[in-house]
A and B are shown apart, each in its own frame.
Chain A
Amino acid sequence: MLLELDHISKIYGSLHAVDDLSLTVPEGEWLAIVGSSGSGKTTLMNMIGCMDTPSKGSVSLEGRKLEDLNATQLADVRKNLIGLVFQKFYLVPHLTAVENVMVAQYYHSVVDEKQAMEALDKVGLAERAHHLPGQLSGGEQQRVCIARALINCPKLILADEPTGNLDEKNEKIVLDLFRELHRQGTTIIVVTHDALVASCAEREIMLNHGVLVGEKWNDDAARAAYEAAGGKPASTGSKAEGAQNGDAPVGFEDPTKAAKTGGE
């Protein structure tokens, strides 16, 4: 398994932002973490992305337990294994699109402008490469963010609400890019509350107030392969109502979709 979460919790005082979650993600899987605002999705993503540490439990990436690593080693894991896509883009405002992509190369290994241009070309932004973020639209900025995440060929793409600030047209462009990456074998974990985005993933898990309340597969072949490889359903040790405690996944209706369709 590429990623293993073993009973992880993130606790702020009396608040359990993530409550005793266990989850395994094999290489090449596209997983969506869904839930309403404040359900703990982003907190979970930050812990997977080595940007935050769990209060309890253990996170393993490629078999390495993150809690055993120091700050420098965590930085190495981030730059070597993970590509991050943020809802707010987080581009350096005084660097051009291509320079923003090159920043990731700079911290990873060697800066190669040609390669950075190719990455921008891949996301359809070659002609906007020398524009500052302030001169780009939201969709274009998100595509720069994706190009930056891809540039070092990470094994895992972590995307937090990647289409949250985009219109439909740009949402489609971004999802097409993810599909392409998935075809190439990149593991993708997307945090979203958008049903359409979640439905593109092979597998979805749902959080509610930090508790795992459901899991469903959108791709039976992927599920079969997962189970054949010894993969188990996600689970939680939480005793909260509706928690998925057992060995079988508990299906769920996407609340956003239900709201949009009137429950049909």
Chain B
Amino acid sequence: MAGKPMTSNSRMFFKMLWGAVFRRRSRAIMAVVASMVGAATLFCLTAICIAVPQQMNDEMRSYGANLIVTPIETDGHKTGIDDAMVDHTTEMVRAHGTARYATYRYENVRVNAAPYVMAGVDAAQVRDLNHHWSVDGDWPSNGSVLIGRDVADALGADIGSSITIGYRSSDNSASSSSSSSSSSSSASSSDNAQAQSGSSAPSAPSESGHVSSDIMETKGTDFRVAGIVDTGGNEDSIIYATLNDMQKLTGTKRGADVIEYSASATGDDLTKTVTSINDMTSMHVKAQQVTKITSSDTRIITMLQTLFWIVSLVVLVLTLVGVSTTISSIVSQRGYEIGLRKALGASSRSIGLEFYVESAFYGLIGGLIGTAAGYGLAYVLTTVVFGRTLSLNWPLAIGSVVFSALIAVLASIPPVHRANRIDPAVVLREE
């Protein structure tokens, strides 16, 4: 149609499209409904497939660290990992995905002359990292501490009671410092024992939370017990205070003994993160995976995702076959129209364009409604069945609409092509 004034012919094109869509409402509705069902299924299943395992992964990440970083101290002088190095290490971890972290500074302290391990932490960081901790009362703040269940039992302390914590530098000499850092880092997760196997053997706290070398020393600073933590693990033997209180108590400021990371990276990505940190020897830190957490997370998430995708793909294929069959049958019913247009001199290209645009229109409308319905369905499913929220995934929504239009066009290609290939007389005779 080159060289034609496009205005009148374009108007005619849209008149024909409008007539086909709005004056053949029952068939148009059938085509739109078919596309709608396809789009709704596609969006709903894909949204769930993407969102639920991702959210479960995020949630599993809040059940403890899957990566720990400890300082390498060569001269026996305990300086820990300073803030700049924490930032740098965190950047490296986040290069492979999102990550939450918490730093721990461990010191040996005395309460009623009995030795305990005290951790100086940022309460918000630790809480964010360890959702599984059962804390009765409050997290530590300046002047108050969070004590492990075993410590509370040994001291007979309760929430609101006061304990006196003493610090002696001799308890934290090089020989004993390994005791605090090793026992405490193992406290951060029972699995860390494996990760920490390279460090010197700890003299772990006994069942009651204190070591046997008690001496009668009761001087110290009074702290209020804000809360009691009960994890069933080594955390129950530790006293948690703010970093600020720790510095006041010890009179020294130094870096962290452990950084715990809960990284979104799993499998090879996590291994790469560990390798990249360990390769940077100038950082004087050592990174290790918490193997149990990492592998079980990966396994569960992989199983879930595989299951979701298999079910979704089967349902999707069935739906798409249904959609394409419906559209194809609707176009086939108009075979005589194709024959008529050919008899009137229409080219195959022109006929194809008209029918494909019409099908794309059905796909587009069905896709829009279906995607909205699919989102609603996915939202209800994730809320009711999985107990999670679902935000609208725009790229997926756009993809779903475009895909619906594409399927509708693809489904109409065979009948249009078939009718186009046959002489118009034959098509009209069949009518």
Contact = CB atoms under 8 A, between A and B. Distances in A.
B342 interface: yes
Given A106-B12, A107-B346, A111-B9, A51 B423 contact: yes
Contact of A92 (B4, B337, B348, B426): B337
Interface string A32-63: 00000000000000100101110000000000
Interface string B338-352: 001111111110100
Contacts of A71: 348
Interface stretch (A96-104, A161-169, A197-205): A96-104
A111 B425 CA distance: 25
Contacts of A46: 423, 425
Contact of B340 (A75, A80, A92, A108): A92
Interface in A72-101: 72, 75-76, 78-80, 84, 86, 88, 90, 92-96, 99
Contacts of B97: none
Given A95-B16, A102-B12, A110-B5, A79 B345 contact: yes
A184 interface: no
Contacts of B336: 90
A181 B63 CA distance: 90
Interface in A208-233: none
A159 to B, nearest CB: 13
A102 to B, nearest CB: 6
Contact of A90 (B8, B23, B346, B428): B428
A76 B341 contact: no
A121 interface: no
Secondary structure at chain B's binding surface: helix, strand, loop or mixed? helix
Contacts of B423: 46, 51-53
A14 interface: no
B425 A75 contact: no
B20 interface: yes
A132 B23 contact: yes
A71 B11 CA distance: 27
Given A75-B345, A80-B345, A111 B8 contact: yes
Which residue, B8, B345, B348, B431, has most C-beta atoms of chain A within 10 A? B345
B23 A94 contact: yes
Contact of A84 (B4, B9, B11, B344): B344
Contacts of A148: 344
B347 A72 contact: yes
Nearest to A71: B348
B76 interface: no
A107 B16 CA distance: 12
Interface string A105-120: 1111111110000000
Interface string B390-431: 000000000000000000000000000000000111101001
Contacts of A93: 23-24
Interface of A: 46, 49, 51-53, 71-72, 75-76, 78-80, 84, 86, 88, 90, 92-96, 99, 102-113, 132, 148
10 A-B pairs with least C-beta separation: A79-B345, A46-B425, A51-B425, A94-B23, A52-B425, A94-B19, A111-B12, A111-B8, A78-B345, A107-B346
Given A95-B23, A99-B15, 16 more contacts: A51-B423, A53-B423, A72-B347, A79-B344, A80-B345, A84-B344, A90-B340, A94-B19, A95-B16, A102-B12, A103-B16, A104-B344, A107-B346, A109-B4, A110-B8, A113-B8
Interface of B: 4-5, 8-9, 11-13, 15-16, 19-20, 23-24, 336-337, 340-348, 350, 423-426, 428, 431
27 contacts: A46-B423, A51-B423, A51-B425, A71-B348, A72-B347, A75-B342, A75-B346, A76-B345, A78-B343, A84-B343, A84-B344, A88-B428, A88-B431, A90-B343, A92-B19, A93-B23, A94-B20, A94-B24, A95-B16, A95-B19, A104-B345, A106-B12, A107-B346, A108-B345, A109-B4, A111-B12, A132-B23
